[in-house]
Amino acid sequence: MIADPKGLYQEVILDHNRKPRNYGLLEHPSHHAEGLNPLCGDHIHVSLDLAGDNVEAIAFQGESCAICKASASMMTVAVKGKSRSDAQTLIGEFVAMATGRLDPQNSLHIGRLAVFAGISELPMRVKCAILPWHTLRAAFSAVATASTEADADPMQTPLGDA
């Protein structure tokens, strides 16, 4: 049996990888963005319906590693029903945690997402965990269902301004 000293492949992550929540594409989303990590081939779509300022529905779909897929699945669960500004706060905190700049114990918002804290010790995998969150941020600022333009490319967004 493989030891997992970083605690990364915990059951909750494996479960979300096996049975991703909110998987698919919304039929007529108000916002949509595509996230691509050309280095490893991770490729996901995030679509959402904003009712006023509220994330009424959200879904994701794509081809990716377990870390990216579980991160996307847990992200949709975490932001569904939240206000746009709460979701934006969570994006910032998740990215900060994944890059080792935020101890999840000092956050009121991270909750179960703390299972991703160990990713900060694997620099080559940080981008896998972050991709869905960058894509969500791009979706918030993107025109409905338009394809992602260069300036909305989630990977072009500097990590530092998360």
Partner 1 sequence: MSAKSSTLAAPPALPGTRPEPGAMPTRAFDIERIRADFPILKLQVAGKPLVYLDNAASSQMPQAVIDRLVRYQTTEHANIHRAVHHLSETATAGYEAARGKLQRFINAREAREVIFTSGTTDGINLVMQGWGRKFIGAGDEIILTVLEHHSNIVPWQMLATEKGATIRVVPINDAGELQLDDYESLFNERTRFVGVGHISNALGSINPVKRMIAFAHARGVPVLVDGAQAAPHLAVDVQDLDCDFYAFSGHKMCGPTGIGVLYGRAALLEAMQPFKGGGDMIHTVTFEKTTYNTIPHKFEAGTPPIAAAIGLGAAVDYLSAIGMAQVAAHEHELLHHASERLRELPGVRLVGTAADKAAVLSFAVEGIHPHDVGTLLNQEGIAVRTGHHCAQPLMKRLGVAATSRASFAFYNTLAEVDALVAGIRGVQKVFG
Nearer to partner 1, 55 or 131 (CB): 131
Judged by CB under 8 A, which stretch of 26-34, 73-81, 88-96, 122-130 contacts partner 1? Answer: 122-130
Sheet strands side by side (includes 31-37):
31-37, 42-51, 54-63
Least Å from the CB of residue 155 to partner 1: 15
Least Å from the CB of residue 15 to partner 1: 10
Mask for 54-93, x = binds partner 1 (CB under 8 A): ---------xxxxx--------------------------
Q: How far apart are CA 92 and CA 6, in angstroms?
A: 23
Judged by CB under 8 A, which stretch of 14-22, 77-85, 137-145, 153-161 contacts partner 1? Answer: 14-22
User: Quick one: which of 43, 82, 84, 109 contacts partner 1 (CB under 8 A)?
Assistant: 43
Q: How far apart are CA 146 and CA 152, in angstroms?
A: 11
Residue 108 phi/psi, 5° resolution? -90, -10
C-alpha of 44 from chain center: 10
C-alpha of 94 from chain center: 8
4 binds partner 1 (CB under 8 A): yes
Least Å from the CB of residue 120 to partner 1: 14
For residues 74-109, one letter each, b for 16 or more C-beta atoms within 10 angstroms of the residue's C-beta and e for the rest, the string is bbbebbbebebebbbebbbbbbbbbbeebebeebee
User: What residues make contact with partner 1 under the rule CB under 8 A?
Assistant: 1-6, 8-9, 14, 17-18, 39-41, 43, 63-67, 122, 125, 128
